[in-house]
Amino acid sequence: MIEEIVRLALEEDIGAGDITTRACVPEQCQARGEFVARERLVAAGLEVLPAIYNARGGVDQLTILKRNGSICGPDDVLATVRGRARTLLECERVALNFLQRLSGVATDARDFASAVERTNCRVLDTRKTTPGLRELEKRAAAVGGVINHRMGLFDAVLVKNNHIAAAGGVRQAILRARCLGMPVEVEVRTREELREALDCGVTHLLLDNLTPGEARDWIGEIDGRAKVELSGGITLDNVRAYAETGADFVSSGAITHSACAVDISFRMELS
């Protein structure tokens, strides 16, 4: 998976060749480079670096100095690389794009996980990921400290509002989903749907777009009969309030879809 993603990224950026580097840098020139954190961050995506340099060749030594999940500060060196200067230059942007993006996801994930510490609630990520990068972004979220929810539509049952509409109701959707022999999670939007799901013996409920006060009230009615996940509009600013409602889980798409790239630089010198 990583090799294919890297191949596409390099092909997109380099294409027929790095014309600036070929014009300016002699073919025999050797160099050393280092990836340096410029701000506080949680490192992620370091496993992509070997695939990048293996794909291009001309690298004698790659040293990964931090682990995925390491908390880094300004001027911390994440990795060093030594080899052909042309290779280092043509791979620079692709390597940084992966490290900055994935470390941004991990950093946001760590902030979310820290925000709910000392509660009984855990944070989940979602499927709101960059197309083609889901596995890498979910790895980054996990090393940041949140729990991966389902990877895709194939590995967990989550009956949502449109499934319920298409099936003809909550009960019909639940009964049909149970034929898979897997745990069934059901999204409910009204108190009537909540009670119908509980009457069907559902053990995992998704409550969407409630305020913390509303969520606390609904969870009081559930009274431990099912695990509860809250979603919808959950951000770093309000996740603590949702975690304190008594929910078992909160999920936030912001961890992946709104993560900002962190500041990592590549410093190179001739060797």
Q: Is 206 helix (H, G, I), strand (E, B) or coil?
A: strand
In this predicted structure, what is the pLDDT of residue 104? 98
CB neighbours (10 Å) of residue 158?
18
CATH class of 113-257: alpha beta
- CA angle, 157 then 116 then 220, to 5°: 65
Structure tokens that stand for 146 in this block: 């949140």
Q: Is 93 annotated as catalytic?
A: yes
Q: How far apart are CA 237 and CA 128, in angstroms?
A: 19
Q: Is 187 annotated as catalytic?
A: yes
Q: Among 208, 244, 248, 263, which one carries the catalytic annotation?
A: 208
- pLDDT per position as a tens digit, 250-266: 999 999 999 999 999 99
Q: Among 40, 122, 160, 189, which one carries the catalytic annotation?
A: 160
Q: Among 92, 187, 196, 229, which one carries the catalytic annotation?
A: 187
Q: Among 32, 127, 128, 178, which one carries the catalytic annotation?
A: 128
Q: Tokens 């925000």 — which residue? A: 115
pTM for the full predicted model: 0.96
Side chain identity at 216, as an amino acid letter? R
Give, for 192, the enclosing helix (H) or strand (E): helix 191-199
Q: Is 128 annotated as catalytic?
A: yes
In this predicted structure, what is the pLDDT of residue 262? 98
| 3-state SS record for 245-267 | CCCCEEECCHHHHCCCCCCEEEE
Burial environment of residue 52 by CB neighbours within 10 A (0 to 12, 13 to 18, 19 or more) = buried
| CA separation, residue 244 to residues 116, 134, 141, 218 (Å) | 8, 29, 22, 13
- pLDDT per position as a tens digit, 6-23: 999 999 999 999 999 999
CATH classification for the domain delimited by 2-103+260-270, as one of 3.90.660.10, 1.10.10.60, 3.40.640.10, 3.90.1170.20: 3.90.1170.20
In this predicted structure, what is the pLDDT of residue 1? 87
Could you tell me the residue ranges of all domains in the chain?
2-103+260-270, 113-257
Q: How far apart are CA 228 and CA 222, in angstroms?
A: 9
What contacts 92, CB < 8 A, 6 or more positions away? Answer: 33, 266, 268
In this predicted structure, what is the pLDDT of residue 5? 96
Percent of the chain that is helix, strand, coil (3-state, to 5): 45, 20, 35
Q: How far apart are CA 32 and CA 176, in angstroms?
A: 59
Q: Among 93, 127, 178, 189, which one carries the catalytic annotation?
A: 93
- The torsion of the CA quartet 42, 47, 49, 55, rounded to 10 degrees, works out to -160
What contacts 168, CB < 8 A, 6 or more positions away? Answer: none
Per-10-residue mean pLDDT, the chain, length 271: 95 97 97 98 98 96 98 98 98 98 98 98 97 97 97 96 96 96 96 97 97 98 98 97 98 97 98 88
Q: How far apart are CA 151 and CA 11, in angstroms?
A: 27
Give, for 227, the enclosing helix (H) or strand (E): strand 227-231
- The 10 Å CB-count burial string (b at 16+, else e) for 245-256 is bbbbbbbbbbbb
| 3-state SS record for 37-101 | ECCCEECCCCCHHHHHHHHHCCEEEEEECCCCCCEECCCCEEEEEEEEHHHHHHHHHHHHHHHHH
- pLDDT per position as a tens digit, 95-132: 999 999 999 999 999 999 999 999 999 999 999 999 99
